[in-house]
């Protein structure tokens, strides 16, 4: 059984043909899909989709690019959504300085608020970090005691030093289609050095489609290509890797 721990099924590129997307995933042995959110609307959509399909679960939260929308009312709405048993984590949350660094402090504030929310609700968090790994790790260090339900670094792509610190704190890293790209040599080395018991897999669909579908709309069915690449990098049979990642996912997301 393959698991896609980070998919945006509510995205405009997928939502109108979701039945076909899920059927295609099933035909590729993808038995569980986690629908990740980035604002309050997508959070509601993720929960709705998870309610409609037994094999879909929801991760809800406010992405750093949408941090300006976060306030007490949004936090109350997220808290209420978490009453649904299909919600398995808070995310994707974190820091993103790629497009703008002008709102760094606001991003940090909202990141911390959602860490505290996850702690209150006994849920793990899913971290998005782009061009901001230093500040992200600094916050994770500072609030480590509030992260006892666990952490997933989504689409991980950082140094070996950062990897070792993350693993040392008992957290997980998730890899997607980027590991199949021809320019991913450094990341492949990081995958090789990642302990098997801390690896998760994701598509981040509809983005980051793996080779040979790079540049196309990504779907959960492509998780098999990511699993195959990891099996090659780690020199482990796909069947064994499949079970390891399934167990890892059960431990952190309880699905």
Cα–Cα distances (Å) from 232 to 53, 154, 182, 189, 227, in that order, read 32, 21, 15, 12, 9
Q: pLDDT tens for the chain, 255 residues: list them.
A: 899 999 999 999 999 999 999 999 999 999 999 999 999 999 999 999 999 999 999 999 999 999 999 999 999 999 999 999 999 999 999 999 998 888 999 999 999 999 999 999 999 999 999 999 999 999 999 999 999 999 999 999 999 999 999 999 999 999 999 999 999 999 999 999 999 999 999 999 999 999 999 999 999 999 999 999 999 999 999 999 999 999 999 999 999
CA–CA gap between residue 20 and residue 16 (Å, rounded): 9
What is the domain partition of the chain in residue ranges?
2-253
Give, for 121, the enclosing helix (H) or strand (E). Answer: helix 104-121
Question: Can you say whether the dihedral through the CA atoms of 234, 239, 240, 243 is positive or negative?
Answer: positive
The answer to whether the predicted template modeling score (pTM) of the entire model surpasses 0.85 is: yes
Per CATH, domain 2-253 is 3.40.190.10: no
């Amino acid at each position: 059984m393959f698991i896609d721990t980070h998919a945006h099924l509510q995205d405009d590129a997928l939502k109108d043909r979701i039945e076909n997307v899920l059927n295609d995933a099933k035909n590729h042995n993808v038995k569980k899909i986690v629908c990740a959110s980035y604002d309050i609307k997508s959070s509601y959509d993720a929960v709705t989709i998870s309610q409609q399909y037994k094999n879909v679960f929801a991760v809800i939260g406010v992405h750093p690019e949408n941090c300006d929308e976060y306030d007490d009312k949004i936090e109350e709405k997220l808290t209420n959504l978490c009453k649904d048993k299909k919600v398995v984590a808070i995310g994707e949350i974190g820091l993103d300085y790629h497009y703008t660094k002008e709102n760094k402090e606001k991003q940090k504030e909202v990141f911390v608020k959602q860490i505290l929310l996850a702690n209150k609700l006994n849920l793990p968090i899913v971290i998005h970090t782009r061009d901001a790994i230093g500040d992200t790790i600094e916050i994770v260090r500072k609030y480590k005691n509030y992260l006892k339900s666990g952490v997933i670094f989504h689409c991980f792509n950082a140094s070996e030093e950062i990897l070792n610190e993350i693993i040392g704190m008992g957290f997980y890293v998730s890899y997607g289609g980027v590991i199949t790209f021809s320019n991913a040599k450094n990341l492949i080395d990081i995958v090789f050095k990642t302990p098997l018991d801390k690896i998760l897999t994701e598509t981040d669909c509809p983005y980051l489609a793996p080779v040979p579908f790079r540049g196309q709309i990504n779907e959960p069915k492509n998780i098999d290509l990511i699993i195959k690449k990891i099996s090659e990098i780690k020199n482990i049979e796909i069947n064994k890797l499949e079970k390891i990642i399934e167990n890892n996912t059960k431990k952190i997301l309880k699905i």
